Amino acid sequence: EVQLVQSGAEVKKPGESLKISCQTSGYTFTNCWIGWVRQLPGKGLEWMGIIYPSDSEIRYNPSFQGQVTISADKSISTAYLQWHSLKVSDTAMYFCARIAARLVGFDYWGQGTLVTVSS
């Protein structure tokens, strides 16, 4: 059974750094892309970026380029989303999702990680 389990909710202050995780199981981690999707409070879904863990190829949504860093650790089948300096506007739910076929897009999703940034 394919599973994506994300790290728990975070409360941070503006300017702090953060790295959230997405641990996968039930399939070969290096055979599929993994993506990150943002959902602002009460809003829709925004694709942030994707990574191919086999060779760490990364594609960012231009809207998020330079704002976040996506990475993966093949040894533990885990993908990451990282901020170096959080802003209040980063407060959102973040989902990871598997992409079995890149053109078909996201099939399995994690449960989401709520990130709250407040002074």
Partner 1 sequence: DVVLTQSPLSLPVTLGQPASISCRSSQSLVHSDGNTYLNWFQQRPGQSPRRLIYKVSKRDSGVPERFSGSGSGTDFTLKISSVEAEDVGVYYCMQGTHWPLYTFGQGTKLEIK
Residues at the interface with partner 1 (CB under 8 A) = 35, 37, 44-47, 50, 59, 61, 95, 97, 102-107, 109-112
Identity of residue 34: I
DSSP letter (8 states) at residue 118: -
Residue 50 backbone dihedrals phi, psi, to 5 degrees = -140, 155
Q: How far is the CB of 105 from partner 1 (least distance, A)?
A: 4
DSSP tag of 44: -
* Nearest approach, Cβ of residue 103 and partner 1 (Å): 5
3-state secondary structure of 7: coil
In whole angstroms, give the CA distance from residue 33 to residue 28. 11
Which of 13/43 has CB closer to partner 1? 43
Closest to partner 1 by CB, 74 or 102: 102
Output 63 or 85, the one with its CB closest to partner 1: 63
Query: From the CB of 21, what's the least distance to partner 1, in Å?
Result: 16
Contact 23, 77 (CB under 8 A): yes
Residue 1 or residue 119: which is nearer to partner 1 going by CB?
Answer: 1
